[in-house]
Chain A
Amino acid sequence: MNFMVTSFQYALEMIINFDAEVFQTVWVSLYTSFLAILFAALIGIPVGTILGLTRFPGRRFILTLLNTLMALPTVVIGLLLFGFFSRQGPLGPLGLLFTPLAMIAGQTVLATPIIANYTVASVSGADSRIMQTALTLGAGYIHGAWQLLKEVRFGVMAAIVAGFGRVIGEVGVAMMLGGNIRGYTRTMTTAIALETSKGEFAFGIALGIVLLTVALFVNVFMYRLQQKQ
């Protein structure tokens, strides 16, 4: 018990003293997650909007695929992309494996189905008069869809926040594609997993506290968005 308390004290000291290694790890986690979410939103929101607004052959298959991808273990995504980025893989010559870019790519793949699925739900559940009103006022379908997204903006923001929550807390993709290189690809989750096994328990606790704080903010933000919706 004493060990736990002492570790917790060390962890708090690290946070209060802005320990360089802790905050370097937090920074890598945050910037890779933010960029991954940005790319995932750029893909997932239009895909979700099209799937929510239109009916075409194969739509149901794509929806099932997106649902399946949402439940896919992160290590499986990491494994697939590892194949693409490894030396013998199709993207091997780019030399992306064990770089933040590879992590961002993997996390984008991870978050896109979540954002797309949430967007489909928001768009499908939106008032059918929104699109019709925009069209009768002279908008085209793209402008009408943009107006619809503005009307269901809280649902879309919830999609982005949910995607961010998934990405910031995942370990499989970051570990397999980033390689946990100190100061370069080490994220909060990979550091917690590996440093703790090396006996750096206080360091793990410090990162755990930051991760929990981020998760708390994400959840509070999600809750507020749902309340507004």
Chain B
Amino acid sequence: MDLNRSENSSCARHFPEDKAVPVDPLLALRNIEIKRSNTFTLKIDALVLQPARIYVLTGPNGSGKSTLLQLLSMLIAPDQGDVSFSGNPVRTGSDRKRLRRQITLVEQTPYLFHGTVYDNLAFGLRLRDVRGDLQRERIIKALKIARLDGFENCSAKALSGGEVSRVALARALVLQPKVLLLDEPAAGLDADILPIFEDCLKKSAESGTMIVLSSHDDEQARRLDAESLQLDSGRLARGGEASEDNPVACL
């Protein structure tokens, strides 16, 4: 099913016929339902996310932000509904496994594997057969972006909380994913690092990466020139609608 071309979409009426419409959304969800407990169900009727854009996901604790990020990261499958990536439906476990090479999630309290910082950044690169000088070059560059120059030989278990967050971010950036998902990344960062981090996200988006980050900071969407998505009790309360900038945000 191609969500972008759905004739029954409720969004079709939101924009004039002569308006240029982006060809393929990167990620699209439709009629999603994920039951996580007897009291909580994530329900999203429609959400379309475009490449090279930043989305800030806000909402109170327990509103479903992490569940939505897990769904977008292809770690879990919906109980009901359709997910598509670049216009292609995602149905099977092998579809999700294949896409996880293009989507990276940085968790709120990231886990670093034992070994050095370099080993951690090399983990995903080795899986993608990026080795040798290219591997080293990309790792050094990612560490520089995360303001961790010279940390490559440090033991990952000896880092402070803020450093762990930055290594996790560098570990995701080094993979140059098409989709970068961040679960409350600002929580582990010092105030002086935050502008650098946000600048880094903007540059990643400019180079084509779609970014979704969950946050409790309402100002973050404005600073990042991002679209705001608001979740409330498992429902998308705001965002994802069609607009001049994002005419197919809601199908």
Contact = CB atoms under 8 A, between A and B. Distances in A.
Nearest to A129: B111
Contact of B97 (A132, A137, A140, A151): A140
Given A136-B75, A138-B100, A138-B124, A130 B111 contact: yes
Contacts of A147: 113, 123
A137 B112 CA distance: 12
Interface string B206-237: 00000000000000000000000000000000
Interface in A29-63: none
B114 A151 contact: yes
Given A132-B75, A143-B127, A137 B104 contact: yes
B165 interface: no
Interface in A107-138: 127, 129-130, 132-138
A150 interface: yes
Interface string A82-102: 000000000000000000000
Nearest to B127: A138
Interface residues of A, number: 17
Contact of B107 (A129, A140, A141): A129
Interface string B94-117: 000100110111110111011000
A6 B114 CA distance: 53
Given A129-B111, A132-B107, A151-B113, A139 B75 contact: no
Contact of A135 (B100, B113, B171, B172): B100
A151 B114 CA distance: 7
Contacts of A129: 107, 109-111
Nearest to A127: B111
Contacts, number: 50
A133 B75 contact: no
B204 interface: no
Nearest to B105: A136
B175 interface: yes
Contacts of B172: 137
Contact of B75 (A130, A135, A150, A151): A135
A147 B114 CA distance: 10
Main secondary structure of the interface of B (DSSP, over half): loop
Contacts of B109: 129
Nearest to B106: A136
A106 to B, nearest CB: 36
Given A130-B111, A150-B114, A137 B171 contact: yes
B123 A137 contact: yes
A143 B111 CA distance: 17
Interface string B123-138: 1100110000000000
A141 B110 CA distance: 19
A136 B127 contact: no
Nearest to A141: B97
B84 interface: no
Most buried by B among A134, A136, A140: A136
A138 B75 contact: no
B74 to A, nearest CB: 9
Contacts of B97: 140-141
Contacts of B75: 132, 135-136
Contacts of B58: none
10 contacts: A130-B113, A132-B111, A133-B107, A133-B113, A134-B123, A136-B105, A137-B127, A137-B172, A138-B101, A151-B113
Ranked nearest first, the 3 interchain pairs of A and B with the lowest CB-CB distance are A129-B111, A137-B124, A136-B105
Given A135-B100, A138-B175, 11 more contacts: A130-B111, A132-B75, A132-B111, A135-B75, A136-B105, A137-B172, A137-B175, A138-B101, A138-B124, A141-B97, A143-B127
